[in-house]
Each structure stands twice: as structure tokens, then as C-alpha cells.
Structure 1
């Protein structure tokens, strides 16, 4: 799979290398460029702190986004290690998750326009929490060691529950990410789009190691991937609680003032 990812990046990077031209900076050393970049990040951080609702939103997003990153990074590993998914099944699981994420973002996008970005994110966070609970609690054998009728010939098994969890994660992760970007856009003052969206992307990556690190640590300590995956629930719950304190209207007013 790593080779496939490398080939994918190589192919789709070609248009950027060929057609995107960057203005040359004359007379500046690499040391100066690095120092200037770090100073710009510090300046952007200070500017963001002037917009309290945006700062609170970015803090909340730091947690629930880390939960999502961990799900995407270790969902396949959890499927294989706990439920015995084959490589083909993990591959199909990834495809289904991404397709459902696209459908969720498309079909539930209108909710953002109706009730606002904050509430859309909260709904998606709650859906993700429920989905992760199903994934953590799903047994690795038939429920109660027996097959129970659910719908027609469909039975409740650990694998069935995990597939349901995966579909729900896909459905709610799409609107979660799209609503986060749209809410950030509403909070950004005019002529600060590039600077603040750059920090938005940076903040989403700066702590991305936390979820995978804690997942691996708890898995090693308890000897079960379920305890590790429970970290995702913690991140999502913290992010959801922090987001409750964000005033969307005040944030939009501050950006337009």
C-alpha cells in the first residue's frame, strides 16, 4: 500500500511541478527564510488570539480533528487486528468509508446553510461518537455467541456492527470537515484569508501525532486495540464540549467589524 500511495503522489504532483511557477526570492538565505516563516507563524497566532471565537473554535477542532485523523489512520489496522479483515476487505472498507464521506458532505451540506456551521459540526461529532462506540463495543464473534436475526437474513455479528460503524463514520466525517472549513471562513476577517486558513491547516497537523501515539501506547499497555481506539472517543467528546462554548454569531460579527 505504501508503494501505491507513493505512486499516487508522484503522478498527481506532476501538474504542480510543471505548471505552477513560484516567484524567486533574491538575496535571502535559507536561514533567513526559516526565521521569517517562524516569525510569521507567531504573528498569525497573535492575530488569531484577537478573535476569541475563532481561537476557541480552533482549540475545539484540534481535539475532534485529531480523533478523525486517528480513525482514518488506524481504522484499517483495527479492522484487521480485531475482526480479522483480509487485505481485500480492508481495501473495500477504505473505499466505502471515503465514498460515504463524499455522499455525507454532499447530502448533508444543506444543513450547514439551515442551522449554521457550529451546529452541523456538533451533530456530526455526536454521530461520530456513536459510531466509534459501536466500533469499540462490537464483539469479535457473533453477539452473545449466537446469530440473532436483524433484517431478513442479516445477522448481528461483530463484523456487521463494525461495518455499520464504518458507514456512519464516513457519513458524518464528510460534513464534519466541510462544515469546519465553512465555519472558519465565516470567522476570518477580510484580507486575512490566506494567513488564517494557512494556520487552520497548520493547527490541524501540528498535533496530529497525539491520537496515534496514545492509541499505540494504550494498546501496548492493555494488550487490546479496543482500549487504544477508545482514545478517539475521548478526543471527540472533548472537542464537542469545547465547541459548545463557541458563539458563532459573535465570531461572524467580529470578522465583519
Structure 2
């Protein structure tokens, strides 16, 4: 493939006694990706003695802070403020028939935001596999993470200038920010096998998700305070929204400094050592310089072809694709269900979003504890049962009764964070050593780039029945099918087949 530069699995994770097939370095993840072998510094990867538990914990704490940094974008920008605001800006620029004309193409103003999100997904699909391959080939994940994070944060901060009829500016910034977030998450997730022992990953991944949800809730409370009390602060409602959008970019950029200071790169066999500058990617400069968007498609095809050699890993990814499609659709369509079917106002919906954010922290940490006792697979299966019951209960919610909608939001929050966190940590055990970023690019595509079947089914159900209740309950099929597919994955055998040590509980 051109990306498998490590050869055979690396050092053992359970005591450091296994053979180090890469000259004693970690080799971008080694066997199961623990922090064994590469004792590099913040200035660049270098071979040395295995770091102790304290150093590993330090990296883990730094890693959590990227979730803390970037989750604000997902919560405040995408979920709450940008969609309605950008739609209004597009309507201000529309012609008499309600159309805007980006690049000369007539687009209904009310559809512009959705099309911009779709364009960002397409760009991410092109770029993620390419970046993942470069990261694995060179071992230089950190400078690539910095580039993606600050490109996204800068685009988000630039949304302050989204005013008047500048809809095209808003669309471009949205595409850049959304695609940058997806690319940065590939690199961020690929650090997990390197900074956590196999038995730690469920807890570490869960804490990362908890940090993200806590951050999103905290900033959303502040943003809503500014938005609701904009007159008290002496600013217009439009200016309040622009400040909320820009503050998310500033937050993202500021807290990204923490993981960039604490995470360290690992040298890959065959990659040139970095220079004294520490931040430049010297080992893969030729690769990066010759990369193109077309290579993204070729790399994705090569990654999927390589996955055929690991059919059990592919089985898990298929199960995740199905049930995560249901999760993402519930998240994106819950507000439509609440407003159109239950007749709830915007304030009620925003409070429900906050409730989900807060309880997702509790859920992520609680399910991380359950995974330590029962294993990640069993805990995820239990969460899918809870998802099925919760979505099914949505069919029976009475209209005009916020308390029952809050109860539904609470149930979603409790299973949301944990099911996402444990899916990530379980997948990290199934990734062949040295291909962390490459395989996590496929995982991220399953998370962000392929979740379209759920919205399609939701829309078709509503079109055929005229009822959002029938539409929401139709999503139960994703959780049932996902449960069946995941239950059929022999996880312990899949971990061993990927060349990784099998944890006591998984």
C-alpha cells in the first residue's frame, strides 16, 4: 500500500518483553499502540527508554483537551447558531424568487446551509484518507493535527465577519471549518492506541468524550446568556450571534495548545528524523508535497482493500456504520421532531440540548466504568438496547408536554457519550499496528461522511405517512441491525487477528 512502513507488530504492551521489530521505537503505534519504545521529546520523536506511567498519564491529560477544545464548534456553531443565521444571511442575498447563485448555480436560500455541510463532507472524504496515510507513513501526527485544528479554528473565528448578504463567505468558512474538524479528529483518534495501554482505552476514550460534552455545555450556557441578554450587553442580536460563532473559534484554537504541548510523535521505521525545529514535517515532506485530492480517493480505496485482509475489523466497522447512522440521525432530527410534531418552542429545544450535553458527560464516564467490569462490546450492546427503547418511546410522547421531551433528552444523553466513546476505544484494538491514522480515517468517514441512510429513511417515512412519529420510530431498525451485526463480531479473535495483544476484558 505504501503506507505500511512498520512491517511486523511492535513491542509487547503487557510488560515490554515482546520483540521490538522497529529498532526499539514505537513505530507509530507498535503492538496495540502503547507508549513503548519511543522516548521522544516535544521537539520530535527519538528512540529511548520506555516512558513511565506518569509520562503516559501526562499525554492522556493533554489528549483530553482536544475534545475540550473542538467540541464547542460542534455544539454552539453547528447545532445551535450557524444554521439559522446563515440561512437568514442567504435569504438577505436571495433574488425575488428566493434563490442565491453561488458560482452561478441557482440554490434555494433555505437549502444553502445543508448544501454547504454536504460539500464539507465531500471535501473531508477526499482529504481524510490522504492525511491519515501521510501521518502513518511519517509518524508526524502532531504538526498535521496543529494545521487542521488551526485552519478550522481560524475559519470559525472568521465567522465574525459573516454579516449582511455575505452568504458565500459563510459557506466557504463552514466548508473549511467542518472539513478541518473531521481531518483533525482522524489524527486525534489515532493517538489513542499510542497513549493508552489496551486495558486503559475504554476509560481514556470515555474521559475524552466527557471533556468534550462538558466543554460544549459550558460554552453553550455562556453563549445563550449573551444571545438572550444581548440588549443588556448593548449589542444587537446579530452581533451576539457573530460573537458566539467567533468565540467558538477562539476557544478551539486556545485550548488546542494543551494537546500540542503534551502529545509527542513517534518515529516510524524508514522515516527521516525531524530537524531541530521540531514542528516541520521533514520525514514526509515529499509525500505531503506531492499529495493531491485525487490521492485521497486512491488512498481510501487502498485502505478498504487492505481492510479485506482484516475481515473482523471490517465487520465491526460495518456494525458501527449502521448503528452510528441511527445515532447521528436522532441527534440531527430530534429538534425537528420536537418543534414540528410536539409543538415545542426554541427555548425548550435549547434547554433539551443542554440537558443532553450535561448528561452525556455522566453517561460517558458511567459507561466507561461498566466497560471495565463487563467489557466494551457488552456495554455497547446494552447501550443499543437502551437506544432502541428510547427511540421507540419517542413515538408515544404527548404534544405540548416539555417534561416528557426532557425525559427523552435525558435518556439520549445518558447513552450518547458512552456509546460513542466505547466504539472508538473498541475500534482502536482492531487497528493493525502502524496504520492508526489510516484506519481511523475510515472510522471517521463512518462517523461523519456516510451517515445519510438515516436521514433518508426519516424523510421517506415522513413523506409516506405525514407523521414525524412514524419517522422517528423508523430509526429503531438501525439500532436493531447494528446490535445483530456487533453481536456477531468475535472481538477477542479480531484483536488478535489485527496483531494486537488481547486485553483481559474487551
TM-score by length of 1: 0.83
Q: Is the 8 A contact 2:324 2:447 kept in 1?
A: yes
2: CA distance between counterparts of 1:227 and 1:233?
11
Q: Does 1:11 find its partner at 2:250?
A: yes
2: CA distance between counterparts of 1:39 and 1:91?
42
1:135 to 364, 377, 394: 394
Q: 1:249 to 1:216 in 2, by over 3 A?
A: same
2: CA distance between counterparts of 1:84 and 1:57?
39
C-alpha RMSD over aligned residues: 2.6
Instruction: Report the counterpart of residue 175 of structure 1 in structure 2.
Output: 418
Deviates more, 1:104-113 or 1:203-212: 203-212
Q: 1:9: how far off?
A: 5.0
Q: Does 1:48 find its partner at 2:307?
A: yes
> In the TM superposition, what are the counterparts of 1:99-110 in structure 2 within 5 Å?
99-110=358-369
1: CA distance between counterparts of 2:477 and 2:245?
32
Instruction: Report the counterpart of residue 255 of structure 1 in structure 2.
Output: 498
Instruction: Report the counterpart of residue 153 of structure 1 in structure 2.
Output: none
Instruction: Report the counterpart of residue 50 of structure 2 in structure 1.
Output: none
2: CA distance between counterparts of 1:224 and 1:42?
40
Instruction: Report the counterpart of residue 242 of structure 1 in structure 2.
Output: 485
Q: 1:235: how far off?
A: 1.1
Q: 1:13 to 1:23 in 2, by over 3 A?
A: farther
Instruction: Report the counterpart of residue 463 of structure 2 in structure 1.
Output: 220
Q: Does 1:231 find its partner at 2:474?
A: yes
2: CA distance between counterparts of 1:9 and 1:22?
27
Larger radius of gyration: 2
1: CA distance between counterparts of 2:486 and 2:429?
15
> In the TM superposition, what are the counterparts of 1:114-133 in structure 2 within 5 Å?
114-133=373-392
Q: 1:214: how far off?
A: 2.1
2:357 to 70, 95, 98: 98
1: CA distance between counterparts of 2:363 and 2:247?
25
Q: 1:211: how far off?
A: 1.3
**How many residues of Structure 1 are paired with residues of Structure 2 in the alignment?**
240
1: CA distance between counterparts of 2:287 and 2:323?
43
Q: Does 1:187 find its partner at 2:430?
A: yes
1:86 to 345, 350, 367: 345
2: CA distance between counterparts of 1:167 and 1:175?
13
Deviates more, 1:132-141 or 1:72-81: 132-141
Q: 1:213: how far off?
A: 2.3
What whole-Å deviation, never above 9, does each CA across 1:38-79 have from its counterpart, x for those lacking one?
111111111122112211111111111011101111111211
Q: 1:10: how far off?
A: 3.4
2: CA distance between counterparts of 1:106 and 1:139?
31
Q: Is the 8 A contact 1:134 1:162 kept in 2?
A: no
2: CA distance between counterparts of 1:170 and 1:123?
15
1: CA distance between counterparts of 2:252 and 2:349?
26
Instruction: Report the counterpart of residue 148 of structure 1 in structure 2.
Output: none
What whole-Å deviation, never above 9, does each CA across 1:143-202 have from its counterpart, x for those lacking one?
xxxxxxxxxxxxxxx544332222111101111001101110111122111111111111
Q: Does 1:75 find its partner at 2:318?
A: no
Instruction: Report the counterpart of residue 57 of structure 1 in structure 2.
Output: 316
Which protein, 1 or 2, shows the higher relative CO under an 8 Å CA cutoff with sep ≥ 6?
Answer: 1
Q: Is the 8 A contact 1:104 1:170 kept in 2?
A: yes
Long gaps (5+) in structure 2: 1-80, 86-240, 261-278, 501-506
Q: 1:235 to 1:6 in 2, by over 3 A?
A: farther
2: CA distance between counterparts of 1:139 and 1:161?
8
TM-score by length of 2: 0.44
Q: 1:26: how far off?
A: 6.6
Q: Please give the secondary structure, in 1, of the residue aligned with 2:315.
A: helix
Instruction: Report the counterpart of residue 371 of structure 2 in structure 1.
Output: 112
Q: Is the 8 A contact 2:348 2:402 kept in 1?
A: no
